[in-house]
Amino acid sequence: MHYNTNEGKLKLPEYGRLVQRMAEYVVTIQDRAARQAYAERLAFIMERMIPKGQRAQDVAHKIWDHLAYLTNYQLDIDFPVEIRRFEPSMQPQRLSYPQGRIRYRHYGRLVERAIAKLRDMPAGTVRDQTLLLVANRMKRNLASWKSDNATDDKVAHDLSSYTDGQLTI
């Protein structure tokens, strides 16, 4: 029996083994015009394999770069775009995960930041209106987290404990 695990590793797994075999075959075609036509059809197939939501403006450039990579840059055709060296091992930088502790995680970091800004605001109508908006957001977050416990008293208590009694409703 023949299993794909016995074959070599896929260069670009998102296109699959069949596209890789077709890319290996296109290099072996002797007639340049036939090779060009086959490569264009293969690029069309590769483009259709990318979901519509993920298609970017430079998708054609990406497809031709990938095709050249799949053929180890040995494909002798007239590429419609300038080929850039593609390195699949290039990984994006790792995003740092926030390390700070959130006091009440069900309210979230944005509510915590808004409360910190409210502390620094001078007393007045703007601060009172903003405080009501933040309290409303807190109540909605609490309701989505635990719907049976979303009361005004709970929000007022949590807001007071957040600010050590500086802000109250």
Residue 66 CB coordination number (10 Å): 20
Q: Where does the pLDDT of residue 45 fall: very low under 50, low under 70, confident under 90, or very high at 90 and above? A: very high
The CA-atom distances, in angstroms, between 42 and each of 21, 47, 56, 76, 129 are 11, 9, 19, 14, 60
- Using the predicted structure, report yes or no on whether residue 30 has a pLDDT greater than 70: yes
The model's pTM is 0.53
The string of DSSP codes covering 62-120 is HHHHHHHHHTTT---S--SS------TT--PPPPPPP-SPPSSTTT-HHHHHHHHHHHH
Q: How does pLDDT run across 50-74, given as a tens digit for each residue?
A: 877 666 677 888 899 999 999 999 9
Q: How confident is the model at residue 91 (pLDDT cuts 50, 70, 90)?
A: low
Burial profile 93-132: b = 16 or more Cβ within 10 angstroms, e = fewer: eeeeeeeeeeebeebeeebbebbeebeeeeeeeebeeebe
Residue 83's identity, in one-letter code, is I
| pLDDT tens figures, 118-150 | 988 888 899 899 999 999 999 999 888 877 777
Residue 21 confidence (pLDDT) above 90 = yes
In this model, does residue 162 exceed pLDDT 80?
yes
* Confidence at residue 6, expressed as pLDDT on a 0 to 100 scale: 82
Buried b (16+ CB within 10 A) or exposed e, 50-64: eeeeeeeeeeebbbb
Contact 149, 142 (CB under 8 A): yes
Kindly indicate the confidence band of residue 103, based on its pLDDT and cuts at 50, 70 and 90.
confident
Residue 96 predicted with pLDDT over 80? yes
